[in-house]
């Protein structure tokens, strides 16, 4: 096991429970998300896991039930359950998710199933654009309900910011730039590559950290934020790789 399992006893207990239940059928347990990026915050962050097995037939799921349900009772999300075949077949469908895991993950048990995955540029570009358009649509809908309340608008800005950060990470992969681990650095790096104004994203990051100026007007901030996100869609729509069809 790694130092991460020793650092957080909840992870050690989970891995040991999976080992007892599955034995040699357990191929890997992988930690990803904020804890793997070094941005875990006690009481706010989850532990995100991938459990890799040889098969996921109903009988395998029955064996998994006890350790997984015990994990959920501790307030943690269900792990992503995969086999090598599922991973290989799904890379072109979920390139954003798998690239994010490949970039920042910690193997808690077994071999590293993400080390060798390769993602095509065009599937990644399509998912980025589709996700951006869908999330921007949700943002507009959220603004309809929240615009009259500074508190609700603040919550909308902060919650949507983390969603778009995941897309910024994917956008950096698209142009061959490894995304930084820190959220604020991700937004700045993507904006620099895409020719966007990073100021509204920096303002929302300060807002999330409780460091925003008291005079900050939420409607003005939303307008600047929305404008840059809309421009980002145009950048993704027009993107064509200079060479090669695979991300780095």
Q: Is pLDDT above 80 for 128?
A: yes
143 and 44 housed in the same domain: no
- Same domain for 68 and 17, yes or no, is yes
Q: Provide the domain limits for residue 232.
A: 121-238
pLDDT tens digits along 87-102: 999 999 999 999 889 9
Which of 81, 110, 139 terminates a domain? The answer is 110
Task: For residue 38, tell me if it sits in a domain.
Answer: yes
Residue 220 lies in a domain: yes
Task: Give yes or no for residue 231 having a pLDDT over 80.
Answer: yes
Q: Are residues 133 and 232 in the same domain?
A: yes
Say if 207 falls within a structural domain: yes
Same structural domain, 230 and 125: yes
Q: Is the pLDDT of residue 241 over 80?
A: no
Is residue 116 in some structural domain?
A: no
* Residue that the structure tokens 């020793």 belong to: 6
Residue 28 lies in a domain: yes
State mean pLDDT over 136-150: 95
* 92 and 141 housed in the same domain: no
Look at residue 245 and tell me if it is in a domain: no
Same domain membership, residue 157 and residue 128 = yes
Mean pLDDT of 103-127: 91
Q: Are residues 138 and 230 in the same domain?
A: yes
The contacts of residue 236 (CB under 8 Å, 6+ apart) are 125, 128, 129, 132, 171, 174
In a domain, 243, yes or no: no
Final residue in a domain of this structure, among 110, 136, 164: 110
Domain co-membership, 106 together with 133: no
Average pLDDT on 128-148 reads 95
Q: Are residues 141 and 230 in the same domain?
A: yes
Rounded to whole angstroms, the Cα distance separating 51 from 134 reads 29
* pTM for the full predicted model: 0.74
Which DSSP string corresponds to 33-89? STTTTT---TTT---EEEEEES---HHHHHHHHHHHHHHHHTTPPPPEEE-HHHHHH
**Residue 206, pLDDT above cutoff 50:** yes
Last residue of a domain, one of 110, 143, 170: 110
Read off the pLDDT of residues 40-79 as tens digits, 9 standing for 90 and up. Answer: 877 778 899 999 999 999 999 999 999 999 999 999 999 9
Whether residue 101 is contained in a domain is answered as: yes
The tally of domains found in the chain comes to 2
Residues 222 and 143 in one domain: yes
């Amino acid at each position: 096991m790694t130092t991460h399992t020793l650092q957080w006893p909840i992870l050690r207990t989970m891995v040991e429970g999976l080992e007892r239940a599955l034995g040699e059928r357990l191929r890997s347990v992988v930690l990803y998300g904020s804890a793997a990026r070094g941005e875990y915050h006690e009481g706010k962050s989850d532990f995100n896991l991938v459990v890799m097995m040889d098969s996921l037939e109903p009988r395998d799921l029955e064996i998994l039930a006890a350790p997984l349900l015990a994990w959920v009772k501790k307030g943690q999300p269900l792990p992503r359950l995969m086999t090598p075949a599922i991973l290989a077949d799904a890379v072109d469908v979920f390139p954003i998710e798998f690239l994010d895991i490949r970039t920042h993950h910690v193997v808690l048990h077994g071999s590293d199933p993400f080390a060798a995955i390769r993602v095509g540029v065009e599937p990644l570009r399509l998912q980025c654009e589709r996700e951006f358009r869908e999330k921007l649509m949700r943002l507009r809908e959220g603004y309809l309900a929240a615009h009259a309340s500074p508190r609700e608008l603040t919550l909308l800005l902060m919650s949507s910011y983390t969603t778009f950060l995941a897309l910024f990470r994917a956008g950096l992969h698209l142009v061959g730039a490894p995304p930084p681990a820190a959220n604020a650095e991700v937004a700045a790096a993507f904006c620099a590559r895409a020719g966007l104004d990073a100021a509204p994203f920096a303002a929302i990051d300060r807002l999330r950290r409780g460091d925003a100026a008291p005079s900050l007007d939420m409607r003005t901030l939303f307008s600047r934020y929305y404008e840059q996100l809309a421009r980002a869609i145009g950048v993704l729509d027009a993107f064509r790789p200079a060479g090669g069809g695979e991300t780095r």
